[in-house]
Structure 1
Amino acid sequence: MKKSILSFVAAAAITGTAGANVQAEEVTVKKGDTLWDFSQTYNTPVDMIKEWNGLTSHIIHPDDVLNVYPEKKYIVSKGDTLWDIAREHNVTVEAIKEWNNINSDLILPDNELILYPNAKAVNAAVAPAKSEKPAETVSASEQKSVQPAAKPSQPVEKTAQPVEKSQPVPEAKPAAESKPAPEPAKPAAESKPAAEPEAEKPAETANDETAQKVLNMEATAYTADCEGCSGITATGINLKENPDQKVISVDPNVIPLGTKVHVEGYGDAIAGDTGGAITGNKIDIFMPSQEDAINFGRKPVKVTILD
């Protein structure tokens, strides 16, 4: 998206503008626990918990010890820069931009930023030994969510197959001259609609594709209702002139720009924008006002590809 469009995520109820060194909380996994449960309990994205603990999958085991770092809200003061805030809280500028879905280094006074102080240090101190074992199992299932983009090519190949003219229709005539009696029977065999059974196969493939077009995504929200925001998306949609337009920001490698989608809880929309922090299975949903964008927060949604 254009750098001037400001993105927001819901802030946690932790206040303060000074960054004290906060220690990560160690959590022992119990039977039945999931990363999603911990993300809801500690108001922390699943991806952050995985990063801090060196996890490559969503699978955890009883008695595993996880480091969970509390979320902190930082109110931008006049004269603050991302570099100053990053140094004060022992994080990187890129991390702050990713956590808050910011595409430029510009911040304004009274903006609220979400921080995970010392998060990078916690990540470096954690050994990923316990959770690497099931990586192969989960990676195979996770890859399914991005595979549908490559499968539309299969029906094209099948559709071309009925064009084959391998049946020896011209050769049947010499046979008919030597044996006049069987000649009437051969056209009946040749007139079988051989293309019809194969023409039905693409319909089955289309049903399989439909089932594979539902993606599990992590959604945040953004708005063009802010001072200095141009409101022009990556595909040229003017969101200020069309505040009721439903647009999502996507990773074009997962959902191509221009794709029509249905977002759970949001409705039918168009993939009309991009963002520096929107990579992989993440989307950013356009909201007409700052209040709507802040209230939306960060949540998992199902996205259905409509075309």
Structure 2
Amino acid sequence: MKKIIVTIAALLIFSFGLSEGTFAASVYKVKSGDSLSKISKKYHVSISHLKQWNHLNSDMIKVNQLIKLYPSASSSSSSSQSSPKESFRYITVNSTAYTASCKGCSGVTSTGFNLLKHPNAKVISVDPKIIPLGSKVYVPGYGLAIAGDKGCAIKGKKIDLFISSRSKALQWGARTVTIKVYN
């Protein structure tokens, strides 16, 4: 019961308090028109940290350049001290999307969260043997989500993303993605 309450509280926080930009992907690919300033604002990190983490001597960046958005183990100890350390792991999974309004669907997750009442919630269905229910998970192209559901077809390294719009769920299709699971 306590785990369900914690999961529901986390879902509410994520659905109302966080957006996709709150937790960044681990690496950003520079696009035309980007600058360190724009990237730092988008991912809520300082320009000096971006320069330090990427060993940049100037503000110059190039299209298609990969920019680290967090301190790595090889970064200096001063940058590690300025950012809280989070424990996480990467998993490559097959992903699909679902809606809460399909025929026979109740709209309520296996943890008791009502997706129909919270259509903007970022919830994924997982195999709890691979990703524990209640885990924070960053999915590229979807954002930060909570592992708040499990489905009978979700076995092994598969996830199913909740998307309230049927057309957007179909647009997601089936993709292989590397997700970041926070412990």
Question: 2:98 matched to 1:245?
Answer: no
**Among 173, 179, 183, which residue is 1:303 paired with?**
179
Cα distance in 2 for partners of 1:245, 1:228 equals 20
> Is it true that 1:270 corresponds to 2:146 in the alignment?
yes
Q: How much does 1:225 deviate?
A: 2.5
In the TM superposition, structure 1's runs of 4+ consecutive aligned residues that sit over 4 Å from their partners are none
Greater per-residue helix proportion: 1
1:226 corresponds in structure 2 to 102
**Could you tell me which residue of structure 2 aligns to residue 255 of structure 1?**
131
- The residue aligned with 2:160 is 284
1:225/1:289 contact within 8 Å kept: no
Which protein shows a greater Rg?
A: 1
* Aligned residue runs from structure 1 range 63-142, under 5 A: none
Check if 1:214 corresponds to 2:90.
yes
- Whole-angstrom distance in 2 between the partners of 1:302 and 1:245: 21
CA distance in 2, matches of 1:241, 1:298: 26
Distance 1:227 1:275, change over 3 A: closer
Partner of 1:135: none
The alignment's C-alpha RMSD in Å is: 2.1
Partner of residue 293, structure 1:
169
Deviation sequence 1:218-239 (CA, Å, 0-9, x none):
1001001335531000001100
Percent identity (aligned): 52
Structure 1: give runs of 5+ residues left out of the alignment.
Answer: 1-206
TM-superposed CA distance for 1:290, in Å, is 1.1
Indicate the SS of the match to 2:145: strand
| Superposed counterparts of 1:163-242, under 5 Å | 210=87, 213-242=89-118
Amino acid at match of 1:213: R
| Corresponding letter in the other structure for 1:274 | K
